[in-house]
Amino acid sequence: MKSIGPIWGVGGVLLLLSFAIYRLAPLAFDLVGVTLTSLQWAALIFSIVYMAYAEGYRGFHLGFAPRVVSRANYLHQNPRLLHVLLAPMFCMCFFHTTRKRQLMSIGLTAMIMVFVLIARSLPQPWRGIVDAGVVTGLGMGIVSIFYFAILANRDPSAIAASAETPVINTTEPVHE
């Protein structure tokens, strides 16, 4: 259980991100055969650069990826059956975390779902332009998770991100 939890946690998050890329990439690649206007080219470049920075670097590399790996390390040190079974959700801070982090994780997920619904309503080439940026950010997220997982495998203390687990009073029994 000690080894399965972290592998399932990080692997499950990677599978989720990979599936999103698998679904969005064809729409982005549909742009290859389309003649874009100058405005559309500018929007495509902006979408890719902005999402690489905002989603890929700031969102994933500086926040999400190190936290996922930190929580996987926590799971390795403190395996519980429910946490191991739901390891991807545990690593994404949907439970057994501070209330603030849990609300932020749920809120961010809801916001992403709204953006997905809006993006679906866009006609081509605009949807492909948005999806090209999202695929870039998600790809950088996957690379970041691998980077931090390799770093943590070499030296778990190298990950400075907090696992953001709740403080437990050791004088009272723990109930979940």
pLDDT in tens, the chain (176 residues): 788 999 999 999 999 999 999 999 999 999 998 999 999 999 999 999 999 999 999 999 999 999 999 999 999 999 999 999 999 999 999 999 999 999 999 999 999 999 989 988 999 999 999 999 999 999 999 999 999 999 999 998 888 888 898 876 555 555 55
**Separation between Cα atoms, residue 64 and residue 163, nearest integer Å:** 11
Query: How many residues belong to the chain?
Result: 176
**Separation between Cα atoms, residue 52 and residue 59, nearest integer Å:** 9
**Separation between Cα atoms, residue 141 and residue 56, nearest integer Å:** 5
Distances (CA, A) of 143 to 27, 32, 56, 119, 146: 21, 24, 9, 24, 5
Domain residue ranges of the chain, discontinuous segments joined by +? 4-24+36-157
Asked if 61 contacts 144 with a C-beta cutoff of 8 angstroms, the reply is yes
Q: Which tens digit of pLDDT belongs to each residue from 111-141?
A: 999 998 998 899 999 999 999 999 999 999 9
Tokens found for residue 77: 């040190």
Tokens found for residue 134: 């999202």
Tokens found for residue 146: 């691998």
**Which residue bears the tokens 């982090």?**
101
Asked if 84 contacts 93 with a C-beta cutoff of 8 angstroms, the reply is no
